[in-house]
Structure 1
Amino acid sequence: MRQSLTRLVRPRRPERPNQSPLLPPLVLYRAILRAHVHKLPHELRHFGDQYVKKEFKDHKKTDNPLHIVGFLTEWQDYLKKLDGGKWLDGKLSKQELDKMSPEQIGQLHELMKATKKIGQEENEV
């Protein structure tokens, strides 16, 4: 994500009163990794950090302003849930699942399998 594009797509003021403006990509990335240190259990932190790093790296070259806004919005919402402790009981709605591409559904399934594997290893110890 080139800096010039992120400036173009960042709203100047919130559209809704409870919505904050989008953070720049690097600021958001660092905030998420810092939140992982304090909010995630130790055994999930490495997994979460690797996932965030991969996603931001994969989207670094994105030029489509709509994709950039969607990407940053979703990660900023994740950061808010993480800070509020609501990530533990997070569930995807049917509308959110319907918006996902087959590749995203596959990635979500792989994520689910990996987290279940971590949970099983934790229970065996």
Structure 2
Amino acid sequence: MRPSLIRLVRPRRPERQTDPLLPPLKLYRSILRAHIHKIPVEIRPLGDQYVKAEFKAHKNIDNPLHIVGFLTQWQDYLKNIDGGSWLKGKLSPQDLEKMSPEQIGQLYELMQEAKNVGKEGN
């Protein structure tokens, strides 16, 4: 992911005040740092592994729209983690309808892993 592309394709939303996108490496580090301070110890390894796998999988993406979408979603995730709103967050039916079958499969796998982590903790 080339940070220079972010500046060229960042969508302008006059109706919503947005923060500028963080460069990929800075965002990655900020997320892992937020996990240290905001996520319970029992589920932190799961979150860290997921973040690392996603950033590694998207490392060589050149499509500017994919890059912006990826970074925007992870930056929103970081805001949720920092603000604590992730604790009461739920997916709406509209969010589920927007997901591809592959994304729903990933979400299901994540749910299964989270259940396993909970069982191991007991």
TM-score by length of structure 1 reads: 0.88
Deviation at 1:16, TM superposition (A): 4.1
**Is this contact kept in 1: 2:32–2:48, CA < 8 A?**
yes
Deviation at 1:2, TM superposition (A): 2.3
**Is this contact kept in 2: 1:14–1:21, CA < 8 A?**
no
Deviation at 1:71, TM superposition (A): 0.7
Residue 118 (1) aligns with residue 117 (2): yes
Q: What stretches of structure 1 move > 4 A for 4+ residues in a row?
A: none
Alpha-carbon distance in 1 for matches of 2:14, 2:66: 18
Deviation at 1:85, TM superposition (A): 0.6
Aligned to 2:80: 81
Q: Within 5 Å, which residues of 2 pair with 1:1-125?
A: 1-10=1-10, 15-123=14-122
**Which piece of structure 1 moves more, 27-36 or 1-10?**
1-10
Give the letter for the 2:78 counterpart: L
Ranges in structure 1 where 5+ consecutive residues have no aligned partner:
none
Ranges in structure 2 where 5+ consecutive residues have no aligned partner:
none
Q: CA RMSD in A?
A: 1.6
TM-score by length of structure 2 reads: 0.90
**Is this contact kept in 2: 1:33–1:49, CA < 8 A?**
yes
Alpha-carbon distance in 2 for matches of 1:14, 1:21: 12
Deviation at 1:14, TM superposition (A): 6.1
